[in-house]
Amino acid sequence: MRSARVAEDLRQRGQVAVLRDLMHSPVLTTTPETSVTEAAAGMVRARVGSAVVMQGSFLAGILSERDVLRAAASAEDLQRSPVSQWMTPDPQSATPDTTVAEAAQIMLLHGFRHLPVLDGRKVLGVVSLRDLFAARITRPAAG
């Protein structure tokens, strides 16, 4: 896993892992008008747990696996239901220089698993709780 490898390399050099080293980029994007079905299919194809919702060049929200599950449980027609109805609007975000510990604290305090990484208003990537755990866990060398 890339994030664990990068984090281990940084630890060996005595450096703290920051999100720039772990984030997934480019990110899967969608629009508020896209159907939940279409956005979820894109997440499956990309093998990711979230899609960043863009309104033009601005971050409007994030659609996560949890949001899709909540939408599915509603019994609404998800081919017609827009992402905007189910996304988390104006999500918390972090900068590329946010440390793994700081990002984990943000995510745990607010109860979400995906954190957009922004430079100003530009979306650079997304980091997941799984990425942060992988960065913190040292795996023994195979031998």
pLDDT tens sequence across 57-115 = 999 999 999 999 999 999 999 999 999 999 999 999 999 999 999 999 999 999 999 99
- List CB contacts of 82: < 8 A, sequence separation 6 or more: 32, 33, 34, 35, 36
pLDDT bracket for residue 5 (50, 70, 90): low
Residue 1 is predicted with a pLDDT of 46
Percent of the chain past pLDDT 70, that is, above it, reads 84
Which two tokens mark 77? 């027609």
Scan for tokens 């050099």, then name that residue.
13
Q: Which letter does DSSP use for residue 57 in this model? A: T
Q: What is the mean pLDDT of the chain?
A: 87
Sign of CA dihedral 64, 68, 73, 34: positive
Which two tokens mark 3? 């994030």
- Name the nearest CA neighbour of 23 among 143, 134, 138, 141: 134
How many other C-beta atoms can be found within 10 angstroms of the C-beta atom of residue 72?
A: 15
Residue 16 is predicted with a pLDDT of 60
Amino acid of residue 52:
V
CA dist., res. 35 & res. 96, Å (int): 30
pLDDT bracket for residue 134 (50, 70, 90): confident
| More confidently predicted of 123 and 14 | 123
Angle (nearest 5°) at CA 124 between 98 and 59: 100
pLDDT bracket for residue 9 (50, 70, 90): low
End-to-end CA distance of the chain: 18
Q: Are 22 and 132 in contact (CB under 8 A)?
A: yes
